[in-house]
């Protein structure tokens, strides 16, 4: 079946602009995660959704970052007033069951490469 998909694959924007990054999880997966990966680093946790609610948003770096998942499927990561330091690959992952369950294996999407000029 289809894996996790993310759009756009690449996004170039100017400093100060607003961007939205979209994630389509695997159908039926209840849990969704956002990560940020900088060059030469491991994925850095941003936020975890279980269903429609954000179960843990402690990884969001500041209030310019916000994410939603209104119907418990597709999620959008929103970044306001982008800064050059926001440049990274933004990865989305989903799992069938919640963290801590026997079905919590996370499957990653291809990522969105965000470049802030």
Partner 1 sequence: GENVEQHPSTLSVQEGDSAVIKCTYSDSASNYFPWYKQELGKRPQLIIDIRSNVGEKKDQRIAVTLNKTAKHFSLHITETQPEDSAVYFCAASIGPGDDKIIFGKGTRLHILP
What is the contact surface with partner 1 in residues (CB under 8 A)? 33, 40-45, 48, 55-56, 58-59, 91, 98-100, 104-111
Provide the minimum distance between the beta carbon of 43 and partner 1 in the complex, in angstroms, as a whole number: 5
Provide the minimum distance between the beta carbon of 53 and partner 1 in the complex, in angstroms, as a whole number: 12
For partner 1, give the closer residue by CB, 10 or 80.
10
For partner 1, give the closer residue by CB, 14 or 102.
102
Provide the minimum distance between the beta carbon of 56 and partner 1 in the complex, in angstroms, as a whole number: 5
Instruction: Determine the Cα angle at 68 with ends 66 and 74, to 5°.
Output: 135
Q: Which of 115, 84, 99, 108 is nearest to 35 (CA)?
A: 108
Per residue, the 3-state secondary structure of 77-105, as one string, reads EEECCCCHHHCEEEEEEEECCCCCCCCCC
For partner 1, give the closer residue by CB, 20 or 56.
56
For partner 1, give the closer residue by CB, 1 or 40.
40
Do the Cβ atoms of 34 and 25 come closer than 8 Å?
A: no
Instruction: Determine the Cα angle at 90 with ends 6 and 39, to 5°.
Output: 135
């Amino acid at each position: 079946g289809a894996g996790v998909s993310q759009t756009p694959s690449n996004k170039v924007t100017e400093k100060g602009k607003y961007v939205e990054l979209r994630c389509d999880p695997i159908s039926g997966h209840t849990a969704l995660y956002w990560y940020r990966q900088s060059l030469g680093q491991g994925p850095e946790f941003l936020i975890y959704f279980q269903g429609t609610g954000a179960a843990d948003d402690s990884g969001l770096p500041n209030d310019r970052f916000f994410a939603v998942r209104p119907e418990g499927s597709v999620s959008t990561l929103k970044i306001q007033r982008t800064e050059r330091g926001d440049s990274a690959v933004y990865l989305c992952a989903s799992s069938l069951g919640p963290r801590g369950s026997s079905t919590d294996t996370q499957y990653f999407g291809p990522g969105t490469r965000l470049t802030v000029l």
